[in-house]
């Protein structure tokens, strides 16, 4: 499905990337100006409770949210209909800027250093859907190996099975059986 924007067809992924860049920047401004910077390693006892003084979002919560966004974009980005087997150039540039911006403003300092170092040593591979998906999977496996005791790497050949949205067979999370399937929930 393509959306009409200023007379040009745009992929929904492009809108998702633009929205996530805006939200990432807005989040960084709020964190920077509210005094929460540097306190993200503390976690609230229950993420659904009211947030009060001394309760902050955990590093793990940030990590899961960011990886979900990165993997979902990589799995659902479409190759160009004109140049089959290639992500359009404007989208490759947008993704590259977005990943580098995210690495600069990531709210956990140690994770941000790892993120920036990986991007320097392994620039994003944005040739096509498959290559970008595999790059994000390898990146995540590298981060996991550097911050956690090895539990085993995610098998990257299963990336699309895990992350690609399929309207005809949406993944149902436990306790969500009666809720409508939506890629935005």
- Of the two residues 153 and 101, the one the predictor is more confident about is 101
- Of the two residues 172 and 81, the one the predictor is more confident about is 81
Query: Does the pLDDT at position 112 exceed 60?
Result: yes
Closest CA to 141 of 113, 127, 126, 122: 122
Instruction: For the chain, give the longest Cα–Cα distance.
Output: 53
The tens digit of pLDDT for each residue in 124-135 reads 999 998 999 999
Query: Does the pLDDT at position 57 exceed 60?
Result: yes
Residues 102, 24 contacting (CB under 8 angstroms)? yes
Phi, psi angles (nearest 5°) of residue 4 = -85, 125
Phi, psi angles (nearest 5°) of residue 87 = -75, 135
Q: What is the mean pLDDT of residues 105-109?
A: 90
Closest CA to 169 of 159, 183, 184: 183
The tens digit of pLDDT for each residue in 66-91 reads 999 999 999 988 877 777 788 888 99
pTM: 0.63
Query: Does the pLDDT at position 171 exceed 60?
Result: no
What does pLDDT average to over the chain? 73
- Of the two residues 178 and 75, the one the predictor is more confident about is 75
Question: Strand pairing partners for 4?
Answer: 9
pLDDT for 85 equals 81
């Amino acid at each position: 499905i393509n959306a009409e924007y200023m007379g040009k067809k745009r992929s929904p992924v492009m809108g998702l990337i633009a929205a996530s860049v805006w939200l990432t920047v807005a989040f960084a401004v709020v964190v920077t100006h509210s005094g929460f910077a540097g306190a993200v390693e503390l976690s609230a006892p229950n993420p659904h409770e009211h947030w009060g003084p001394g309760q902050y979002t955990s590093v793990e919560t940030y990590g899961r949210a960011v990886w979900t966004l990165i993997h979902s974009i990589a799995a659902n980005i479409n190759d160009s209909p004109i140049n089959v087997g290639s992500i359009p150039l404007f989208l490759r540039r947008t993704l590259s800027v977005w990943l580098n911006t995210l690495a600069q403003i990531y709210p956990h300092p140690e994770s941000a250093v790892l993120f920036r170092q990986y991007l320097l040593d392994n620039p994003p591979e944005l040739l096509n859907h498959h290559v970008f998906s595999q790059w994000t999977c390898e990146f995540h496996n590298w981060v996991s190996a550097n911050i956690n005791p090895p539990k085993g790497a995610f098998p990257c050949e299963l990336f699309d099975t895990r992350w690609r949205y399929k309207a005809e067979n949406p993944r149902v999370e436990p306790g969500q059986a009666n809720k409508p399937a939506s890629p935005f929930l």
